[in-house]
Each structure stands twice: as structure tokens, then as C-alpha cells.
Amino acid sequence: MREFPSCFGETGVQVADSSSSSRAAQNVVTCVYQCKLRGDSCLITVSWTKTLMGQGLSVGIDDMGKVEIKPWLFSRRKGSKNLEVQSGKVDIFWDLTCAKFGSGPEPLEGFYLAVVFNKEMVLLLGDLKKEACNKIESGCGCCAFAHSGAVFVSKREHIVGNKFYGAKAQFCDKGQLHDVTIECDTVGLKDPSLVIRIDSKTVMQVKRLKWKFRGNHTILVDGVPVQVFWDVHSWLFGNAMGNAVFMFQTCISTDKFVAAQSVSDPSAPTQLQGFGFSLILYAWKHTQ
């Protein structure tokens, strides 16, 4: 259980140190997809944001560039943008006019987001796939109904709570959607513990947490081994504004170090290639 602390360090997992930046961090969900551009593998990063001005998103394609759709209130819910790159043209189409949101910034249904490279479908998200295909065919004439072949490889999410912290995750591409619950009460307890549940079923428990504030453990989800890393040092010994970090990594590789480094360096998602799916949760305590 020493790989996790050696990769992260006591400050490596901290996303923010001030109350203003921590509140901003709590309103971002970042998803990474492994896609094909002209037969070559690349990673597309989609970040959903939520501010006082409304919802927004950004789409980044490896080192090619980034398209940002700023937060909106009643406008810009539908549209398209393009990005000229050295090897061609990237078109991005979106429609969130009827999108439904939960408590976070990521839409749940009633939307589409599509990325097209040189008239070839690369990534298609959302449940309005038919509407997306009709729009894209009229916009660039590509074969919109062709399967993009994109694979969901990573999700980074900020969650907030006091004792219970919840998120949803698919631990394999197009797999079953599971409820992930983290229970950890650190206030006024002499011997706090950590409990993690999948669909209300306890899959792991860590006692004597003050001695085991960092570590890893392997659980089974849908018959697939999933390695769970945790670091709750800030909750127990750090600044009150600090966050804990949890990573759920499907075990298709023995190289834990490279997979773990992607948590401490979220700007380098390329390290996730070949490591299955990773769910990274930054857990913040409610502030008064």
C-alpha cells in the first residue's frame, strides 16, 4: 500500500487552498475519451462547468487545441464551432436546449455533443443521437450514423458532503451505471473509519483511519477487479478547506505508478492510455 503515497505526497493531491477556488473546483466534471483520428489514437477531454452565469463546457483534443463554450443563461445552448489544426478541421456540434441537469454541471439527458474530424465522426455524446446525426449531415455531410468507436476511459469529478459523498460511475465502457457512496465521518471521532459502497453494498471498510489515511484495496465490480486508492490526509490533519482524493481504477495493467500519476497531474490525461477506466473523485466538506 505504499505506491499511493509515494506518487502523491501530502500536497500533490490538493486541487485548491482557498475557499473561492475550492467552490469553483466543485463545479467541474472532466471526462476523457479515447478516440481515433485517421486511424491514430488520441484523447478528447470534455469538461462541464457550472457557474453563477450558467452551464458551460470545453472540448480539448490532445495537443491540437481546445474549444471553449462559455457559460450561458438562455443563449448558446445550441450551436457549432470549428478548430483548424495542422492535419485538418475539427467541427464541434452541441445542443443542450432541452438538457436536464442534476446537482452537478454534467447533463443527464436531453442533449448531444459531437466532435467531427475531417467529416468523420470521432465522438458522439448524449441521448439525442438521431438529432445530432441530422444536424451534422446537413452541416458537414459526414456519415453521421457511423459508430465513432470512442471509449470512455476517465472521469474526474468534485463531490461535496459532510459524512456521505456520492457519485455515479460505469467501470467499463457502456457498462452498468453504479452508485458509488463514500462514508467517512472525521468530526470529533477518536477512531474514524472509511466505508465505500457500490449500489448500497459495502465493498470495503478501513478502520484505524488515522494510521491508514492513505492506501489501496482491490474490490470486484461486475466481476472486474477495481483498485481503490484513497488519501484522506487533509481531512484528518490538514487545512479545513482541504479535500480527500479517491481513485477507482480497473485493473487491466500492473503498472500502478503511471495510473496513479494521472491523479496528481490532471493536465496529463495521456497517461491513462491502456489502463482501462479511472474514476477520480475529489471530496470536499461542506463549508458554513
In angstroms, rounded to a whole number, what is the distance separating the alpha carbons of residues 157 and 211?
26
**Residues 6+ positions from 207 with CB-CB distance below 8 Å:** 191, 193
Around Cβ 72, how many Cβ atoms within 10 Å?
Answer: 15
What the block records as the C-alpha cell of 141 is 455531410
DSSP H stretches of helix in the chain = 3-12, 19-25, 129-140, 233-237, 256-264
Q: What is the pLDDT of residues 201-233, one digit of tens each?
A: 999 999 999 999 999 999 999 888 999 999 999
**Domain-embedded: residue 30:** no
**Residues 6+ positions from 276 with CB-CB distance below 8 Å:** 153, 172, 249, 250, 251, 252, 253
120 and 167 both lie in a single domain: no
Q: Which residue has the cell 469553483?
A: 24
49 and 129 both lie in a single domain: yes
Q: What is the pLDDT of residues 12-42, one digit of tens each?
A: 333 333 344 455 556 889 999 999 877 788 8
Instruction: Quote the Cα angle for 15-21-27, to 5°.
Output: 85
64 and 174 both lie in a single domain: no
Which domain does 247 fall in, by range? 3-25+160-285
**Domain-embedded: residue 229:** yes
Q: What is the pLDDT of residues 73-114, one digit of tens each?
A: 545 688 888 888 767 788 899 999 899 988 788 898 999 999
43 and 125 both lie in a single domain: yes
**Domain-embedded: residue 135:** yes
21 and 93 both lie in a single domain: no
Give the mean pLDDT of 36-49: 86
Cβ atoms of 71 and 54 within 8 Å: the answer is: yes
Q: b/e map of 83-122 (b: 16 or more CB within 10 Å)?
A: bebeeeebbbbbbbeebebeebbbbeeebbbbbbbeebbb
Cβ atoms of 212 and 235 within 8 Å: the answer is: no
170 and 97 both lie in a single domain: no
Q: What is the pTM of this model?
A: 0.77
In angstroms, rounded to a whole number, what is the distance separating the alpha carbons of residues 155 and 277?
8
Q: Is the pLDDT of residue 247 over 80?
A: yes
84 and 139 both lie in a single domain: yes
What's the total number of domains in the chain? 2
Summary mean pLDDT of the chain: 77
8 and 57 both lie in a single domain: no
